[in-house]
Amino acid sequence: MESVLLSLMIIAVLGIASQWVSWRFRLPAIVVMSIAGLLAGPITGFLHPKEVFGDLFNPIISLAVAVILFEGSLNLDFREVRGLERPVLRIVTIGAFIAWILGSLAAHYVAGLSWAVAFVIGGLFIVTGPTVILPLLRQARLKPRPAAILKWEGIIVDPFGALLSVFAFEIIKFMISQKETIGSLGMFFLASLLAAFFGWLVGKGLGLMLEKGHIPEFLKSPIVFASVLACFTLSDEIYHETGLLAVTAMGITLANMHISSISEMRYFKENISVLLISTIYIMLTSALSMDVLLQIFSWKLIGYVLLMLFIVRPLSIGISTIKTDMSTKEKTLVGWIAPRGIVALTVSGYFSSVLSDAGFKGAGLLTPLTLALVFSTVCAHGFSIKWLAKKLDLSIGDEPGVLIVGGNPFTVGLAKIFQELELPTVIADSSWSHLVKARNEGVKTYRGEILSEQTEFHLDLTPYEYLIAATDLDSYNALVCTTFIPELGRNNLFQLSLRKNKAGDVDRLEHTIGGRILFKEEATWEMLNDKMEKGYVFRKTTLSDQYDFDQYLEERKEGTVLLFIHKSSRKIEFFTDESELKGDEGDLIVSLAPPEEVKAREERDKKE
Q: What share of the chain has pLDDT > 90, as a percent?
A: 22
Q: Among 364, 391, 418, which residue terminates a domain?
A: 391
Q: Are residues 306 and 224 both part of a single domain?
A: yes
Positive or negative CA dihedral for 324, 327, 331, 334? negative
| Whole-prediction pTM | 0.68
Q: Are residues 448 and 356 both part of a single domain?
A: no
User: Can you state the angle between helices 342-357 and 144-176, rounded to 10 degrees?
Assistant: 10
Q: How far apart are CA 479 and CA 427, in angstroms?
A: 17
* 509 pLDDT tier (thresholds 50, 70, 90): very low
- Contact predicate 67/273, CB 8 Å: yes
Q: Are residues 417 and 386 both part of a single domain?
A: no
Q: Edge-to-edge strand order for the sheet containing 516-517?
A: 445-447, 425-429, 401-405, 464-469, 493-495, 516-517
**CATH number for the domain harbouring residue 423:** 3.40.50.720
Q: How far apart are CA 63 and CA 269, in angstroms?
A: 14
Tell me what pLDDT residue 116 has. Answer: 84
Q: Are residues 110 and 56 both part of a single domain?
A: yes
Q: Are residues 372 and 424 both part of a single domain?
A: no
Q: Are residues 312 and 457 both part of a single domain?
A: no
Q: How far apart are CA 57 and CA 64, in angstroms?
A: 11
Q: How far is CA 538 from CA 413, 415, 467, 532, 571, in A?
A: 7, 11, 20, 9, 19
Which among 148, 155, 156, 158 is positioned nearest to 80, based on CA atoms? 148
Q: Average pLDDT, stretch 342-349?
A: 72
Q: How far is CA 457 from CA 60, 324, 453, in A?
A: 36, 22, 8
- Contact predicate 455/483, CB 8 Å: no
Q: Among 338, 373, 391, which residue terminates a domain?
A: 391
Tell me what pLDDT residue 504 has. Answer: 41
Q: Are residues 368 and 486 both part of a single domain?
A: no
> Among the residues of 428-541, which ranges form H helices?
436-440, 455-458, 474-483, 485-488, 504-509, 525-533
Which among 592, 556, 586, 562 is positioned nearest to 574, based on CA atoms? 562
Q: Are residues 518 and 372 both part of a single domain?
A: no
* 80 pLDDT tier (thresholds 50, 70, 90): low
- Could you tell me if residue 67 is inside a domain? yes
Q: Are residues 406 and 384 both part of a single domain?
A: no
Give me the DSSP letters along 20-63.
Answer: HHHHHTT--HHHHHHHHHHIIIIIT----HHHHHGGGHHHHHHH
Per-residue pLDDT at 364 exceeds 90: no
Q: Are residues 478 and 456 both part of a single domain?
A: yes
Q: How far apart are CA 332 and CA 127, in angstroms?
A: 18
**CATH number for the domain harbouring residue 244:** 1.20.1530.20
Tell me the helices (H) and strands (E) count for the chain, helix number first: 28, 10
Q: How many residues does the chain have?
A: 608
The total domain count for the chain is 2
CA 260, 262, 268, 273: dihedral to nearest 10 degrees?
Answer: -140
**Average pLDDT for the chain:** 82
Q: Are residues 186 and 276 both part of a single domain?
A: yes
Under DSSP, the state recorded for 514 is S
Q: Which amino acid is at 567?
A: K
Residue 517 domain boundaries: 401-607
Q: Are residues 33 and 81 both part of a single domain?
A: yes
- Could you tell me if residue 396 is inside a domain? no
> Quick one: which H or E segment has residue 562?
strand 561-566
* Interval 195-214: pLDDT, tens: 999 999 999 999 999 888 88
Q: How far apart are CA 442 and CA 353, in angstroms?
A: 64
Q: What share of the chain has pLDDT > 70, as a percent?
A: 86
Q: Among 338, 370, 391, which residue terminates a domain?
A: 391
* Interval 471-493: pLDDT, tens: 988 889 989 998 888 778 888 89
